[in-house]
Amino acid sequence: MDESAALEVTAVRAVETGDADRALWSDADREWASRSAAAEVGEGADPEVYLAHRARFALDRLGGLRPSVPRVVRALRWRPWIGALVVAGAFVAGVAVDRVGGASSINLLAPPVYALLVWNLAVYAMLAVRLAARPAWIGPLRTLLVRVAGGLRRGARGAEGPGAGLAALPGDWARLATPLYSARAARVLHLAAAAMALGVIAGMYVRGLAFEYRATWESTFLGADEVRALLAAALSPGSLLTGVAVPGVEGIAAIRAPASENAASWLHLLAGSVAAVVVIPRLALAAVVAVVERRRATRLPVALSEPYFQRLLRGFSAGPVQAHVFPYSYAAPSEALAGLEAIVSRAFGGNAAVAVQAPLAWGDDDAIAALAVPDGEGPVVALFNLTATPEAEAHGAFLDALTARAGVTRPVVAVVDEAAFRARWPGDEERLAARRTAWKDLFAGRRVAPLFADLVTPDLAAAEATLDAALQARPGATGGEDAP
């Protein structure tokens, strides 16, 4: 998924998962966004394309309901002008701060240009170590640029508004986009280093037009032989690039202070060394990182295997979800069935429908043997009453038959209604926990996603979260980015 779509999808995910009470973004709004996106992309479209269109529709409507939402999203986008400003500022700094020597002379043993060369060589060594060791640390300059140009802190402040539902967005986006933003910041810093070096070169030549620089050297401990060897080593990149040779020992000895000579050839050597050691390698590194950045910007790894995305994609790929409910030894009242419909709608999409089969009587082996599950892609729901004591020979046999008829691809959900149990023993949490444990023992080892809920007054947000986690953890559940 590309960068823009991934940010919008992540933002809508933060709203829809953060607004559990549907105070900002109702089920009807969610269903509208899903229908609009499905109609826009058409049947059989790539899941990522569908999610991107759905996020765009959702953000358009959310912007009308709460203008702070699109502002927060915009604040988390990378701001290219900051990178351009950093590069331009580095060039200006290179021109402004360069001083190859004093007012009119260059001490060949101590021009400030050497500090620039040494710093960049140290950076290359550090990059080589990082490439070999692959540590997670990205360095303070790059971290600062990621925070400033990526706007994560500003996005976090904007997400704190009441009802915005975006409190998790900055963290979610940082985890997803940090590799991309890190590569982008690295490219900017390489270009800035090259720009500063070019500014230094430009400053040297501009000042050389207005002033005559004289080259000299002086040392307490070094003689002409040692100085010539040092200069030949330090300026060899410039000599190779420009073709200007470093003078021999006699030439070096002839300009020992107080003697001097016109510094034009030495400026060429210094400028060539800066270009060879800083400008060319930095531009090459920026080009390499730009390729990495471009690849990451078009391939952000949105985890489509997450329950949130799986729920959206179920409705898109299979159309309206049809849940088939099989009560066992339980004639559920209408209030409980209404609560079950609300849970199914919440967990499998607002357009999910519920088809309730006739209850199977306890111990009716013939009915279990003749059990048939209608064709479809939707979930198969086994409905139980918590007041019943679970028995492997009855409830377990029913579950085994139901999961076998459903097949390995369809999710099987076991919903245990707690309404009657709570009404009979109100406030008895110890008894409730013991009965839940007995039912969990029955479900253990079976391909079933269990859900305990008071269907008369269901906690929809809790039921949704529990069911999502159970469906992900159930045996046979698919995962990975290519999951449908």
**What pLDDT does 103 receive?**
55
pLDDT score at 480: 38
Torsion of CA 305, 50, 312, 358, to 10 degrees: -120
Distances (CA, A) of 184 to 191, 249, 284, 289: 11, 47, 15, 8
Helices 113-133 and 280-298: angle between axes, nearest 10 degrees: 40
Q: Which residues does residue 354 pair with via DSSP β-bridges, in sequence order?
A: 323
Q: What is the pLDDT of residue 163?
A: 43
407 by DSSP, 3-state: which?
coil
Q: Does one domain contain both 332 and 281?
A: no
Which residues touch 251 (CB under 8 Å, ≥6 apart)? Answer: none
Residue 346 dihedral angles phi and psi, to the nearest 5°: -70, -40
- Report yes or no on 65 lying in a domain: no
In a domain, 40, yes or no: no
Distance, in Å, from the CA atom of 162 to the CA atom of 242, rounded to the nearest integer, reads 64
- State whether 164 and 259 are in the same domain: yes
**Is residue 2 domain-resident?**
no
Residue 85 belongs to some domain of the structure: yes
What pLDDT does 153 receive?
Answer: 57
The residue behind tokens 């927060």 is: 72
3-class DSSP state of 201: helix
Domain that holds residue 115: 80-298
Token reading at 26: 């109702």
- Scanning the structure block, which residue is given the tokens 């400053």? 203
Question: Does residue 407 form part of some domain?
Answer: yes
Question: Facing residues of 453 across strands?
Answer: 417
Residue 450's DSSP bridge partners are 414
pLDDT value for 158: 44
**154 and 188: one domain?**
yes
The Cα 457–Cα 353 span in angstroms is 20
Answer yes or no: do 93 and 242 share one domain.
Answer: yes
The CA–CA distances, whole Å, from 362 to 329, 330, 384, 394 equal: 5, 9, 11, 7
- Residue where a domain terminates, one of 298, 323, 340: 298
Q: Are 400 and 394 in contact (CB under 8 A)?
A: no
**Residue-level pLDDT, tens digit, the chain, 484 residues:** 999 999 999 999 998 888 877 788 888 888 889 889 989 998 788 999 999 999 999 999 998 888 888 888 988 999 999 999 999 999 999 988 755 554 578 889 887 889 899 999 999 998 888 887 766 567 788 888 888 888 755 444 444 444 446 788 888 998 899 899 999 999 999 999 999 999 999 988 988 888 888 899 998 999 999 999 999 999 999 999 999 999 999 999 999 999 999 999 999 999 999 999 999 999 999 999 999 999 999 999 998 878 788 778 876 765 667 889 999 999 999 999 999 998 888 777 666 788 899 999 988 888 888 888 888 777 899 999 999 999 999 999 999 999 998 887 788 899 999 999 999 999 999 999 999 999 999 998 888 888 999 999 998 888 888 877 777 655 544 443 333 2
CA distances from 239 to 57, 202, 214, 230 (A): 61, 18, 19, 13
Residues 404 and 468 grouped into a single domain: yes
With beta carbons less than 8 A apart as the criterion, state whether 11 and 75 touch.
Answer: no
136 with 241, same domain: the answer is yes
In the chain, helix, strand, coil percent, each to 5?
60, 10, 30
- 120 and 261 both lie in a single domain: yes
Q: Two tokens at 314?
A: 């179920």
Distance CA 368, CA 366 (A): 5
Among residues 202, 204, 273, which one has the least CA distance to residue 238? 273
Burial of 375 (0-12, 13-18, 19+ CB in 10 A): exposed
Which of 264, 298, 332 is the endpoint of a domain? 298
Position 16 in a domain: no
Alpha-carbon gap, residue 238 to 232, rounded angstroms = 10
Please state whether beta strands 214-216 and 105-107 pair in parallel, antiparallel, or not at all (unpaired): parallel
Contacts of 56 (CB under 8 A, 6+ apart): 8, 37
Amino acid at 345: S
Same domain? 282 vs 330: no
Please report whether residue 34 resides in a domain.
Answer: no
The confidence score (pLDDT) of residue 52 equals: 95
Domain endpoint, select from 230, 264, 298:
298
Tell whether 401 and 343 lie within a shared domain: yes
CATH at residue 452: 3.40.50.2300
Query: Is 29 within a domain?
Result: no
Cβ contacts of 307 within 8 Å, gap of 6 or more: 468, 469, 471, 472
Residues 181 and 102 in one domain: yes
CA 320: distance to chain centroid? 30
**C-alpha dist (Å) from residue 30 to 54, 65, 383:** 9, 13, 27
Task: Tell me the pTM.
Answer: 0.76
CA distance 239 to 342: 78
Q: What integer pLDDT is reported at residue 270 of this predicted model?
A: 94
Q: What per-residue string of b and e applies to 148-179 under the rule 16 or more CB within 10 Å gives b?
A: bbbbbebbbebbeeeebbbeebbebbbebbbe
Q: Are residues 118 and 229 in the same domain?
A: yes
Which residue(s) pair with 14 in the sheet?
Answer: none
Alpha-carbon dihedral sign for residues 192, 195, 200, 206: negative
Q: What type of residue is 199?
A: G
Token digits of residue 315: 């409705």
Q: What is the pLDDT of residue 479?
A: 40
Same-domain pairing of 130 and 155: yes
> Which of 416, 450, 449, 409 has the alpha carbon at shortest distance from 328?
416
Q: Which amino acid is at 133?
A: A
Q: Provide the number of structural domains found in the chain.
A: 2
SS3 192: helix
Q: How far is CA 379 from CA 93, 230, 336, 449, 471, in A?
A: 65, 78, 18, 10, 10
